[in-house]
């Protein structure tokens, strides 16, 4: 597909509007997936933490933290993809647009939007950080409790 030239003051075409709507639909779907992941993280981690307290087993707390970390990685993937598509959206709507019509290829932004930047973003860190921290605290509590219980009496 050829890049479509846009001149300053050019009219907004129906193709441009449809292209922007397609990109926005992808961004919306990615944001929806991210929201669902957060719900699953909270549910599964809370279940593991509840069983940790109920069964007095630190390994269940470790599993809850592991679930938090795994979902954190997955959510950061969706956030990175969403940011890349937002970059594509911004370029498509700009005056100096060199994106082919109806292209959804956002790979050219992968260096601008890093995995590390998405993983350690403020929103994800403030959501997943406490979830993982609670699990690690439970692990520390139950590991020290288990090690104190196994000490011989003097």
The residues with which 3 forms a beta bridge, in sequence order, are 100
Contact 115, 69 (CB under 8 A): no
Domain total of the chain: 1
Task: Please name which of 77, 144, 133, 83 lies closest in space to residue 109, comparing C-alpha atoms.
Answer: 83
Domain region containing 122 = 14-146
CA distance 73 to 83: 15
Task: Retrieve residue 60's tokens.
Answer: 């269940």
Domain assignment present for 154: no
pTM for the structure as a whole: 0.83
Q: Which backbone phi and psi does 100 adopt, to 5 degrees?
A: -60, 150
Domain assignment present for 56: yes
The 10s digit of each residue's pLDDT in 31-90 is 999 999 999 999 999 999 999 999 999 999 999 999 999 999 999 999 999 999 999 999
CA distance 143 to 24: 48
**% of the chain at pLDDT higher than 90:** 66
Domain assignment present for 6: no
Domain assignment present for 2: no
Domain assignment present for 136: yes
Task: Please name which of 92, 86, 93 lies closest in space to residue 109, comparing C-alpha atoms.
Answer: 86
Task: Retrieve residue 116's tokens.
Answer: 């590390």
Domain assignment present for 52: yes
């Amino acid at each position: 597909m050829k890049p479509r030239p846009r001149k300053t003051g050019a009219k907004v075409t129906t193709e441009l509007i449809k292209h922007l709507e397609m990109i926005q639909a992808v961004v919306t779907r990615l944001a929806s997936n991210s929201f669902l992941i957060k719900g699953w993280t909270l549910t599964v981690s809370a279940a593991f933490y509840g069983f940790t307290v109920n069964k007095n087993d630190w390994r269940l707390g470790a599993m809850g933290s592991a679930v938090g970390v795994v979902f954190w990685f997955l959510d950061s993937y969706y956030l990175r993809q969403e940011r890349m598509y937002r970059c594509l959206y911004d370029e498509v709507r700009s005056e100096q647009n060199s994106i082919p019509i109806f292209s959804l290829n956002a790979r050219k932004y992968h260096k601008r939007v890093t995995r590390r930047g998405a993983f350690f973003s403020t929103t994800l860190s403030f959501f997943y950080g406490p979830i993982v921290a609670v699990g690690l605290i439970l692990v520390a509590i139950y590991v020290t409790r288990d090690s104190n219980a196994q000490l011989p009496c003097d």
